[in-house]
């Protein structure tokens, strides 16, 4: 994982701040006051299916416009059978090649919102 590229992506696109660095080249970014997103170099880059992040004030269309405005490609899955997060699914590519899905904060999988 190229740390500078990942740091920029998480700060600029996801509004996440670095809260700590781990000894094994990992980066921890804050997710509110009670959680974090840990980013660690994978053994086989790109081997993950996708990462899902819940965001506050989830406004899907505004979010897509913001991402597109920053030159970030967004894929929208409009298949009703795949609406496990309550609406069309939005995906973007992380600089390390990881697919990131953005959903409403509190979404805990097909069981619904917290």
Give the structural domain span for 74. Answer: 3-104
Exposure letters 44-70 (e unless 16+ CB within 10 A, then b)? eeeeeeeeeebbeebebeebbeebeee
Please report whether residue 38 resides in a domain. yes
Q: Per-residue confidence at 68, pLDDT binned at 50, 70, 90?
A: very high
Give me 108's structure tokens.
């805990």
pLDDT (tens digit per residue) in 14-36: 888 887 776 667 777 777 766 66
Q: Over the Cα atoms of the chain, what is R_g?
A: 14
Q: Is residue 114 part of a domain?
A: no
* pLDDT for res 114: 41
How much is the average pLDDT of 8-13?
Answer: 80
β 74-77/89-93 pair status: antiparallel
- 37 part of a folded domain: yes
Average pLDDT, integer, range 1-16: 73
Question: DSSP secondary structure string, 7-45?
Answer: HHHHHHTT-PPEEEE-TTS-EEEEETTTEEEEE---SST
SS3 at position 82 = helix
Instruction: Specify the number of domains making up the chain.
Output: 1
Q: Is residue 113 assigned to a domain?
A: no
Q: How far apart are CA 1 and CA 99, in angstroms?
A: 14
- Please say whether the beta carbons of 6 and 27 come within 8 A: yes
CATH number at residue 18: 3.10.180.10
């Amino acid at each position: 994982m190229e740390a500078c590229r990942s740091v920029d992506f998480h700060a600029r696109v996801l509004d996440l701040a670095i809260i700590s660095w781990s000894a094994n080249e990992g980066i921890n970014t804050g997710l509110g006051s009670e959680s974090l997103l840990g980013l660690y170099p994978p053994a086989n880059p790109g081997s993950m299916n996708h990462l899902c992040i819940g965001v506050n004030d989830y406004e899907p269309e505004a979010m897509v416009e913001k991402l597109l405005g920053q030159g970030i490609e967004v894929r929208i899955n409009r298949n009703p059978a795949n609406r496990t997060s309550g609406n069309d699914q939005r995906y973007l590519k992380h600089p390390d090649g990881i697919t990131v899905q953005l959903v409403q904060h509190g979404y805990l999988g097909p069981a619904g919102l917290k």
